[in-house]
Structures are given as C-alpha cells and as structure tokens.
Amino acid sequence: MHTETLTYSSTSTEKPFKKTGVLIVNLGTPDSPSVPDVRKYLREFLMDERVIDIPYLNRWLLINLIIAPFRAPKSAKIYRELWTPEGSPLKIYGYSVEEKLQKVLGENYVVKLAMRYQSPSIESGLTELRKKCLSEIIVVPFFPQYASASTGSVYKKVMEVVKDWEVLPEIKFINRFLDHPKFVEGFVNLGKKYMAQREYDHFVFSYHGIPERQITKGDVANYCQFGTCCDTLNAKNQHCYRAQCYETTRLFVKGMGIPEGKYTVAFQSRLGKTPWIKPYTDELIPELAKKGVKSVLAFSPAFVADCLETTIEVGEEYKEIFEKEGGEHWQLVESLNDSDIWIEALEDMVKNA
C-alpha cells in the first residue's frame, strides 16, 4: 500500500501578530468659535436623545427654535475667550494624547482620536481603523464616571457605525476609570501641588450635572434616594453617575489627606427647569462665602482635558461669584490634559482591557 506524506512549508517572512485599534473619544468642540459653528455643535450635541431625553418633536422644537438660536451667540463669545491660536484646547490636548499614546503602545496598536460631536467624528475614526485589518478595537470614552449621556452615548454611536460592517473585529469598551490608580494619582498630585503653595479653607469637587430623571431611569434596583445612598459605591448603585462622583471624591480626599468637613461635592452646568442632581455648584459657592470660607481649591474630576466647563465655568465664572460674595482666593486645579501620568493610565487601561 502506497501512502503519501504531505508537508507544508511557508516562504513568507511576515510574522503574524495581533493588531489592536484604540479609539479615544472625548465629548467634542465646535470647529471654530464663530456663531454658525457653535450653533452647529449645539444642535448635534443637544439633539442626542441621551443628552436631552424627551420626545423627539419636543426636543427638536426646543433645540432648533429656542436653545440654538439664542444660546449660540452667547456661547460663541465664551468660546472665543477659551480659543487659542492653535484652536480648541480640547482638540489640541486630544491630538497630543493620540500621538503620545501611539508612541508608548507601539506598532501593534493604531490610536485614533474621535469626538462624540463634530470633528474628528467617531465614524471617521472607525473608518480609518477598519482599513487596518485589526483583530480588535478598544473604545476609550474620556469620561471617568459612566453616564448615559456621555459614555452611553459613545457606545450607542459606535454600534450605529459598525452595525453594517460585514466583518466585525472584537470590540471592547472602557466603561469607567474613576478608581484607576493613575487617574487618581494624577489629580491627587495636582491637588498637592497647590496645597503646598498655600492653605485652603475648603475644597470643592464640581462635576458636570445630569437631570435627576436620568438617574432614576437607570436605577433598576430602586435604590436611589438622591442622598445617603451615595455614601458608598456598591452593587446596587455601581452604575449610578452621582454615586460614582462621590466615590471619585472619596478617593481624591483620601489621597490628599483632606479632613472631613473641609470639602463638598457639587454639580454644575444644568440646563432647563427640571431638577438636576444636587447640590448645584453655583448655589453652593455663596453659602461657603457666607460661612466665612476665604480660600477654595476647586476640582473638575468629570473632565480629563480642560475645556469651557473647566477653564471658563469653574475657573472664571465661579471665581467671580466667590469673590463677589466676599471670598478672597479661588483656584482651579487643571485637568490631566496630556500629562505623562494620564498617558500611563491610558496605556494600562488599553493593555488590560
């Protein structure tokens, strides 16, 4: 009986390896501080059903007939204060992080910056990654705490873009990173820098607010009371944005050694007349001044890059309120931006996704 032995050989010198795409996503910024560009940005942002979660027709009328026409000129004026010769700080820091993260991750990774609203878009970023024959894509929304209106919206947009792809690589999402050691250490080090320069009477941790109804809608365990239920982060409230903000503060306070009673958690940037999560930062500040607080160190831990909500709202507008009420020194702690420790945090998140 004759048998044949089949042998296989390869003359290819190419080494097989797994290549990973990394899509880093921040909220977004107008393309310029002009009124038309700001209006365009506001319309895309606020028409997102996860941002303003009311029926479509009501949302369309509210945004296109009231908010965008009247708010755009005011917002454009503020954006002009924020703008630099190179452009929007949010986008400048974003491209810097893209470049630095690409460098530390190496050739087996492809890093792309995207914005949830405006450019560079999530669709353009994913389209570029699709061309690279990737084994997987890791999506990193730049929101330390999960909220439906931020991280949830990024998830939804990514899935809308890829749903018709014939071939889908494995897709992973970073859900939140409020307790990542490098993220915490980065802000703690910044806080200690200012604490070494002078004494502060009080510390304010101001987070971006969301409507109370969004917390309630996500509370599948019926646990939320908008009060002491946020004193710990546990299985029942682990997805609650408010509880995550309080947990972030506890980690920062512990790292900086701030005593109980010398710090406050508050929420900023509310829109409309419906209840948002409390306390409101702009209402808290006069109360602190009336109690005799003269110096405040303020943090914005819902943001990893400085933007209108940090530099202008917390850094300038709240400072003006504080000084008007008798306060003497208001200092904003900058965001992580493109710092080395933030790149280290991202590298670790990607490699251990």
Annotated binding site for Fe(2+): 208, 309
> CA dist 95 to 6, 9, 23, 32, 337, Å?
52, 44, 12, 16, 11
Distant-in-sequence, close-in-space partners of 268: CB < 8 Å, separation ≥ 6: 206, 207, 208, 209, 280, 281, 282, 309, 313, 314, 318
In the annotated binding site, the residues are 208, 309
* Structure tokens given for 218: 């996500």
CB 310 within 8 Å of CB 303: yes
Residues in contact with 274: Cβ distance below 8 Å, sequence separation at least 6, in sequence order:
211, 212, 213
DSSP 127-168: HHHHTT--SEEEEEES-SS--IIIIIHHHHHHHHHHTT-SS-
Strands 170-173 and 295-299: unpaired
Return the closest-CA partner of residue 289 out of 256, 326, 262, 252. 326
Is the previous residue joined to 141 through a cis bond, with omega within 30 degrees of 0?
no
CA 36 and chain centroid, separation: 25
β-pairing, 136-141 vs 109-117, is unpaired
